[in-house]
Homo-oligomer: A and B are copies of this chain.
């Protein structure tokens, strides 16, 4: 099984061409679209999407990800083995979310043209000519080491999230993603909140913590730990991006509360 994540959009046939290139090598390999709507050349958005999706696929899945502003430059094309499967794409940090949670077991630079679509790849569409074909070969069982020369996985480019800072009053994070529903997804991991009581300050609003969208009345702004594990600001039945003027990078503050719901000292 193979997944695709790109910034190609779906208007031009570029994604169909990727699938044609895959089917020409591995005609029986199921291909699943993660998304093709990553904002053009937005590596951080790609990193976020892949990180939140990769755990839900069967063992051995090949994830081909192509958000590649450096195509045709000397940025490296890589394939990486992790416990759950394989990652294929440009070495520009888009895999670094996954790799922070599932360390790389091995990596190669894709310099064996035998596994490309053509010995003379385009300088502008390595998805079609290199990444999709290499992913297809991996899905057929070609060993990683056949695809290119080994590289040190610790040298892969990383794109770290802005740090979440903590003090006695709580945690300071930022908005890292805004989803289709307008939910504002923060950089604060839900696992840091276990068994504690908290609320969120965002702009000039204070939002109560909830367990589900419908915990509070229709139209209420709330915060909860989203299905991806991050603290998320949302409006029950509404659109937090539009109604709270949410923007990527905006700050938010998680405040610890005591048993009576009062701010800790």
Contact = CB atoms under 8 A, between A and B. Distances in A.
B23 A1 contact: yes
Interface string A61-81: 100000001111100000000
A69 B32 contact: no
Contact of A239 (B14, B23, B40, B50): B40
A252 interface: no
Interface of A: 1, 3, 5, 8-17, 19-21, 23-24, 27, 30, 32-38, 40-41, 49-50, 52-53, 56-58, 61, 69-73, 122-125, 128-129, 177, 179-181, 211-215, 224, 226-227, 237, 239
Question: Does more than half of chain A's interface fall in helix, strand or loop, or is it mixed?
Answer: loop
A228 to B, nearest CB: 8
A123 B216 CA distance: 13
Given A72-B212, A211-B123, A15 B33 contact: yes
Contacts of A21: 56
A32 B58 contact: no
Given A11-B179, A16-B35, A123-B212, 9 more contacts: A1-B27, A9-B37, A9-B181, A11-B38, A12-B35, A13-B52, A15-B33, A23-B58, A40-B180
